[in-house]
Amino acid sequence: MIETKDDFNLLKRYIEQTLKIQCSNYKEDYIKRRLLSRMRSTSQATYSDYLFYLKGHPAELEPLRNALTINVTEFFRDTEVYNEIRNTLLPELFRQRKRIQIWSAGCSSGEEPYSLAMILSDMMMTNKEIAAQIIATDIDEVILARAKSGIYPDKSVQKLTDVQLRRHFTKLPDGNFEVKQHLRDLIRFRPHDLMSGIPPSRFVDMITCRNVTIYFNEKQKDDLARMFHAALIPGGFYVMGKTEYLGREVESLFTPFNSLQKIFIKKQ
């Protein structure tokens, strides 16, 4: 069957309407590659076949969303979660000890650890006694290199306030923004596979692993929760993504701290 540009555009429009993902934000080639992988998995030969299949199989929407958003991230993704980290979690941890370690697991292009570093750096400005280190890991070394570069286009930093931009970024001549050295100093980026079963540290005060387990099966999710339990110090926090959950097998390892924001505490 001949594939036309119209077939692709119809599918794109349907995705934009149902998943609220703006395909035009991505390179067309990228969208096509991701669609082809879903088409292969569902044995659909053409864009129009796949559109027909999608309409008849709503369960396909979630894997499609995952395929399209695999590395998607942003600064302060889910503002309320970061407000809770800033106003409750970090003050609580610093009440217990002056030096803390955070693990940003599945950090993608770095927006998550740099957001945490901005909060920490602001706290450290007013309290010289506290110190923190963030270990930021991802399995994807290409995306990790981008995270390490710390350079972001204008549209990535739009959600940041003027104060945050001035304090933590330098505007480059080409219009991009580069994170300042004081943020870099708080973070160590490292490749790490969350399925390896071995955490990069066993003295972690807070783990943020957000919007990563959506790609994992139930057993992998349970194994991951067990690894996080081993990595956290007693009373340490585990911050999940808004749509993620703890499986039945492992929920006894943690106490809910803020169920709405998916924040848990390691049980003693």
Ligand X SMILES: C[S@@+](CC[C@H](N)C(=O)[O-])C[C@H]1O[C@@H](n2cnc3c(N)ncnc32)[C@H](O)[C@@H]1O
- Please pick, from the candidates 12, 34, 38, 77, the single residue that binds ligand X as defined by CB under 6 A: 77
Q: Is 140 in the site for ligand X (CB under 6 A)?
A: yes
179-218 footprint of ligand X as x/- string (CB under 6 A): --------------xxx--------------xxx--x---
- Are 264 and 246 in contact by the 8 Å Cβ rule? The answer is yes
End-to-end CA distance of the chain: 61
State the minimum distance, in angstroms, from the CB of residue 14 to ligand X: 22
- 10 by Cβ neighbours in 10 Å (0-12 / 13-18 / 19+) ranks as middle
Q: Is 145 in the site for ligand X (CB under 6 A)?
A: no
Q: Are strands 187-191 and 169-171 parallel, antiparallel or unpaired?
A: unpaired
- Are 9 and 16 in contact by the 8 Å Cβ rule? The answer is no
Query: What is the radius of gyration, based on Cα positions, of the chain?
Result: 20
Q: Is 221 in the site for ligand X (CB under 6 A)?
A: no
- Are 13 and 6 in contact by the 8 Å Cβ rule? The answer is no
Q: Is 19 in the site for ligand X (CB under 6 A)?
A: no
Which positions from 27 through 66 interact with ligand X, judged by CB under 6 A? none
Q: Is 72 in the site for ligand X (CB under 6 A)?
A: yes
State the minimum distance, in angstroms, from the CB of residue 7 to ligand X: 28
Rank residues 51 and 118 by Cβ distance to ligand X and give the closer one: 118
Q: Is 125 in the site for ligand X (CB under 6 A)?
A: no
- Please pick, from the candidates 44, 73, 115, 261, the single residue that binds ligand X as defined by CB under 6 A: 73
Q: In Å, what is the CA distance from 100 to each residue of 24, 89, 113, 131, 135?
A: 41, 12, 14, 7, 11
- Please pick, from the candidates 101, 108, 115, 121, the single residue that binds ligand X as defined by CB under 6 A: 108
Binding-site size for ligand X (CB under 6 A) equals 21
| Alpha-helical regions (H) of the chain | 5-19, 28-41, 47-56, 61-68, 79-84, 90-96, 111-126, 141-149, 162-168, 181-184, 218-231
Q: Is 141 in the site for ligand X (CB under 6 A)?
A: no
Match 């609580």 to its residue by tokens: 92
- Please pick, from the candidates 143, 160, 206, 207, the single residue that binds ligand X as defined by CB under 6 A: 143
Residue 257: Cβ within 10 Å count: 17
State the minimum distance, in angstroms, from the CB of residue 218 to ligand X: 15
Here the tokens at position 43 are 């044995």
Q: Which stretch binds ligand X (CB under 6 A): 56-64, 91-99, 103-111, 117-125?
A: 103-111
State the minimum distance, in angstroms, from the CB of residue 216 to ligand X: 7
The residues with which 136 forms a beta bridge, in sequence order, are: 104, 189
Which positions from 225 through 254 interact with ligand X, judged by CB under 6 A? 241
- The footprint of ligand X (CB under 6 A) covers 69, 71-73, 77, 106-108, 112, 138-140, 143, 193-195, 210-212, 215, 241
